[in-house]
A and B are shown apart, each in its own frame.
Chain A
Amino acid sequence: MFDVESIRKDFPILQRTVHGKPLVYLDNAATSQKPLAVIDALVEYYERYNANIHRGLHTLAEEATARYEEVREKVRRFINAPDKVSIIFTRNATESINLVAYAWGRTHIRAGDEIVLTVMEHHSNIVPWQVLAKETGAVLRFVDIDDEGRLRDDWRELIGEKTRLVALTQMSNALGTINPVREIANAAHRHGALVLVDGAQSVAHMPVDVQDLDCDFLAFSGHKMLGPTGVGVLYVRRSVLDDMTPFLTGGHMISKVTLEETTWNELPWRFEAGTPNIADVIAFGAAIDYLEGIGMDAVRRHDEALTTYALDVLSQIPNLKLYGPRDPSDRGCAISFNYGELHPHDLGTVLDSYGIAIRAGHHCAQPLMNRLGVPATARASLYVYNRREEIDVLAEGIQEAARFFGDVIDARTRA
């Protein structure tokens, strides 16, 4: 049974006030808040069994290693990966994508090859490919969007014989759009291309099954799904893993080192050089437990219901322009908007004075902002602990900001 009020009790930060007002946290697409179970797991690790993993022969090292590796299994189950060796821990989704660009891209992408992206990608799923294209002479192709921010069908023509990789987000961090990943993956595979899915938003907000999606890579991060910062995940299809050379090299990722040469460690540790983020990976395990306790189907239902309500409330505010799909079943709960000529930074500052945390800016998606013809948007993004009342507070806050800047905006609009 999904009960927002009881969920809220698990998040200590929701008790605090900002500028004397109750915190209304609507910046979940940037990072989520953390339940007590996650915070406790961090403390417990440092108080009870802090040790380096995979090398000590003592009890603490064995306990820490076991708990760290348990989380790998939890992640495997969470995204329904067939094999635990396919789960690589990184620092964040950005590093996960870079790992693919370096460890797979540099040996598989050649001059004239094409990498297909979409205009709605986060910079972290554009820049690594721009760098790779520059180095190799590969060509980037971009799938466009329609007026509601859905992918246009032109991916059917863009994906072809020259395509080596299709890299796209499953759920846009700026528009909320959910993309037809499985269908696109099928087309890519028919042409022998691989598919990388940026799951930074989707894995936190809906059930994601890598076998169902049939993707070759899935990148996501723990901190957007109730876990601590500093933990990312890269899933790699088992058959692709053997084609990848290590990205970071050094300790822990080796099997045998002489002064002349080195043989690599087993999978997946070959891709986890140096002491990993042990504490945060273990606490990330507690975040997965928490989400599984709610159930990802229930998380998605809650998000969709709250998004439906938010779109309804916000669309009733005059002069407010919403971006992204109108049908809540087509989208996640990152909601971008602009109020008339009011700049999102000014809106964000006024909302903050009422304790409301939103994001204002380009959301690390400048090409998308250019495509929409705006420098920036305001964005409210929701999660499991948000409730309808907070949407009402947001709507009132926007109207307060409109009153505060009212005549100014009118004057500028006329000018």
Chain B
Amino acid sequence: MSSTPEPELDELYKDLILDHYRRPRNRRPVAEPKVVGEGFNPLCGDEIAVEVHFNGEVMADVGFEGRGCSLSQASASMMTEAVKGRTVAEARSLIDTFARMMTDPDFQPSDGLGDLEAFTGVAKYPVRVKCATLAWHALLDLLGRRGEAQEEG
């Protein structure tokens, strides 16, 4: 047992994931006015809040706060980098792609995923999919709230 960890573990915990866990990017509030979305993992009680400062349809600044395991924190960190500067439509498309990567065994990484490809290993750990998608659920919640606010406005 004193040997190096199993290769499977390295496949799940890729260096990039550990790096974002170690030094989360954009873990900070964004400037007002902003929209906030929340994600909650009932399995472990982990919570993540995502914040976006919009410039029209563009997500001009993205931040997050919350607590959680390495996968949920790294995923949140990488997500903020991936969607910052993108339009709402682009973000929605990325959310779909990420969700497919988590659940579809035949998923082929496509262009535009960039660093997020580090999460391909999670599909082999079904109980950890909720961890890796927590921030994405928060972002989806955020986009829903923004839509409602626009309808009311």
**Interface residue ranges, A against B (CB under 8 Å):** 19, 343-346, 349-350, 353-354, 360-362, 366, 369, 375-376, 393, 396-397, 400, 404-405, 407-408, 411-412, 415
Contact = CB atoms under 8 A, between A and B. Distances in A.
Contacts of B45: 361-362, 366, 369, 375-376
A375 B44 contact: yes
A390 to B, nearest CB: 13
B92 to A, nearest CB: 28
Nearest to B12: A349
A415 B128 contact: no
B70 A343 contact: yes
B152 to A, nearest CB: 30
Interface class of chain B by DSSP? mixed
A349 B6 CA distance: 11
Interface residues of B, number: 24
A404 B70 CA distance: 12
Given A345-B71, A353-B5, A400-B1, A361 B128 contact: no
Given A349-B9, A349-B128, 7 more contacts: A345-B131, A375-B45, A375-B67, A396-B1, A397-B1, A407-B22, A408-B21
B21 A412 contact: yes
Contacts of A396: 1
A19 B8 CA distance: 9
Given A376-B46, A412-B22, A353 B71 contact: no
B50 to A, nearest CB: 18
Contacts of A407: 22
Given A361-B43, A375-B45, A350 B21 contact: no
A376 B70 contact: no
A381 B131 CA distance: 24
Interface centre among A343, A344, A354, A411 (most CB of B within 10 A): A343
Contact of B23 (A350, A362, A366, A411): A411
Nearest to A19: B6
Interface string B50-88: 000000000000000001111100000000000000000
Contact of B5 (A362, A400, A408): A400
Given A362-B44, A400-B1, A404-B9, A349 B67 contact: no
